[in-house]
Amino acid sequence: MSDYQYDNQTVKGFIVSSIFWGVVGILVGLLISVQMWKPEMNFPPLFTFGRLRTVHTNILAFGLGVGAIFGLSYYILMRLVKRPLLFPKLARVQLYLFNVGILLGGVTLLLGMTQSLEYAEFEWPIDIAIVILWVMFAVNVFGTIIKRREEQMYISLWYIIATVIAVAVLYIVNNLSIPASLTKSYHLFAGVNSANVEWWYGHNAVGFVFTTPILAMFYYFLPKSTGIPIFSHRLSIIAFWSLVFAYLWTGAHHLIYTPLPDWIQTLGIVFTLFLIAPSWGSVINGYYTVGSDWSKMQTNYLTKFFLMGITFYGLQTVQGPTQGLRVVSQLIHYTDWVPGHVHMGTMGWVTMTTAASIYYVIPKIYNTEIYSEKVANIHFWFVLIGQLLFSITMWITGIQQGALWKAVNPDGSLKYTFLETLTRNYPFWQMRTVAGLIFTVGMLFFIYNVYMTMRKGKALASTTA
C-alpha cells in the first residue's frame, strides 16, 4: 500500500480543488439566477450577467468537472492497472498548474477577456495552459497504462483513453485563433464556418467531458460500491464504440434553422437520434447490474446515487435527441428550456455520479468509513429535489416563451411584444433561484460529509502512527 500513498495525495488534491471550484461556480450561478429577474443585482463593469455567466459555466465545467475527472481518473487508473502512476511528480505539478489555470481563467473572464465561443471562452494564453495540462494528463494516462501490471483493460480505461484523445482534438482545433494581443484573439474561422467548428466542439465538450469520463466513473464505482459485476460486457463494448463514433457528427443540432448548410443540419439530427442507442446501452447495463440484486438500494447508500445518476443520463439522452428535431427545435431553441436540459445533465447525471464516486474514494484513501450515511442521504434528497425543480421550471418557462414568441392575432400580426414575453418569465426565474438554493444546501451537506470523513481519517492516522 505504501507505494500508493503519494499518488493518493494527488487524487485527494484534485478532489478537494474540484469541490472548491464547485462552490465558487455554484455561488456565481445563484447570483446570475437572481440577476435574471432583478437587474439591480448587476454590478458593472465586473459583475454583470454577461461576464458572470461565462465564469459560472467555465468554472464548473473546467474547475469542478475536469478537476474531478483528473483526480478520479487517476484513482481508477491506478487500481485497474495495479500500479502507481508512472510519473507521480508530473501529476503533482499538474495539480498546481490546474488550480493556477482555473484561477487565472476565472479572473480573465471577469475582466472581459473572452473568445465568445461557448465553453471555449478562455483567451489563448489560458488555452495553452489547458493544452499543457491535458498533455500532462495524457502522458501519465498512457505511460501508466503501457507499464500496467494487469493485461486486460477494463471498460473504464476505454472511456478514459477516448476522453484523452477526443478532448485534445476538439479543444485544440476550436481554439485556433489569430492573436491580436496577449488578452485578445479572433477565431481562425469566420461566419458559418466559425459556427460549425464551435458547435462541433461545443456539443462534444458535453460528450467527452460530461459523458465519457463520467461513464468511466460509473462503470468502475458502481460495481465497486455494490459488489455486483457489470451486467453485460458485450453490451458495454457495443455501447462504447457506437458512442464515440456517433458523437462527433452531432454538433449541428445546435444550429438548426441557422444559415448553416442544410445537409450538415440534417446529418447532425440523424446522428443525434442514433445516439440514443449507445447512451441507453449504458443505462440498460446500469439498471440490469443493480437489477440483479435490488436489495443493494437499501443496504448500500451509494447505489441510489449511481442509479439516479444513470437515470438522468437516460432521460437526458432522450430529451437531447428530441430537441434536435426541427419541429421541436423551432419551439424551444433560444428559450430557457435549454438551460433546463443542460442542468439535468450537470446537476443530475454528472454531479450525482461524481459525488458518489468521491464518497467512495475519500474513505478508501483515509482507510476509514464515511462520516455519516444519514448526511449523505440528506444530501441526496436535497440535490434531487433542487435539480428536478430547476429543470421542470425551466422546461415550463421555455415552452411558454416559445409559444408567446410565436403567438399571432387573427390577421397574422404578432400578439405579444418581446417585453411582454419577458415579464412572464419572472416568476419562473424566481422559482429557479429557489431550486438553486435547495441544490446548494444539498451540496453543502456533501462537502460537510467529505470534510468530516477526512478529519476522522486524519485523527485515525495520527493515533495509529
**134-153 positions binding other proteins, by CB under 8 A:** 142, 145-146, 148, 151-153
- Among residues 142, 188, 147, 132, the alpha carbon closest in space to that of 165 is found at 142
Number of residues that bind other proteins (CB under 8 A): 99
**Hey, what's the cell of 332?**
424551444
- Binding status of residue 249 toward other proteins by CB under 8 A: yes
Within 197-226, which residues bind other proteins (CB under 8 A)?
Answer: 197-198, 200
Nearest distance from C-beta of residue 342 to other proteins, angstroms: 10
Does 112 engage in binding with other proteins (CB under 8 A)? yes
Q: Which of 118, 139, 399, 447 binds other proteins (CB under 8 A)?
A: 118
For 391, phi and psi rounded to 5 degrees? -65, -45
User: Would you count residue 313 as binding other proteins (CB under 8 A)?
Assistant: no
- The whole-angstrom distance between residue 197's C-alpha and the CA centroid of its chain comes to 21
* Given 51, 304, 341, 432, the residue binding other proteins (CB under 8 A): 51
Site for other proteins in 270-309 (CB under 8 A): 271
* Closest to 158 measured CA to CA, from 105, 103, 219, 116: 219
| Interacting residues with other proteins between 326 and 355 (CB under 8 A) | 330, 333-336, 338-339
Burial 144-155 (b: 16+ CB within 10 A, else e): bbeebeeeeebb
The one among 45, 229, 291, 427 contacting other proteins by CB under 8 A: 45
Q: Which of 104, 267, 328, 444 binds other proteins (CB under 8 A)?
A: 267
361: phi > 0 → left, psi -120 to 50 → alpha, else beta; which?
alpha
CB nearer to other proteins: give 247 or 439.
247
Q: For other proteins, which stretch binds (CB under 8 A), given 94-102, 184-192, 215-223, 448-456?
A: 184-192
Residues facing residue 184 across a β-bridge: 181
| Residue with Cβ nearer other proteins (67 or 339) | 339
Q: Which of residues 357-416 bind other proteins (CB under 8 A)?
A: 405-409, 411-414
Query: Measured from the CB of residue 261, what is the shortest distance to other proteins in angstroms?
Result: 5
Question: Pick from 50, 229, 291, 427: which binds other proteins (CB under 8 A)?
Answer: 50
How far is residue 175's CA from residue 117's CA, in Å, rounded to a whole number?
Answer: 9
CB of 420 to other proteins, least distance (A): 8
Q: CA of 224: how far to CAs of 16, 18, 219, in Å?
A: 22, 22, 9
Distance CA 11, CA 144 (A): 15
Torsion on CA atoms 47, 50, 55, 61, rounded to nearest 10: 160
Number of neighbours of residue 180 by Cβ within 10 angstroms: 10
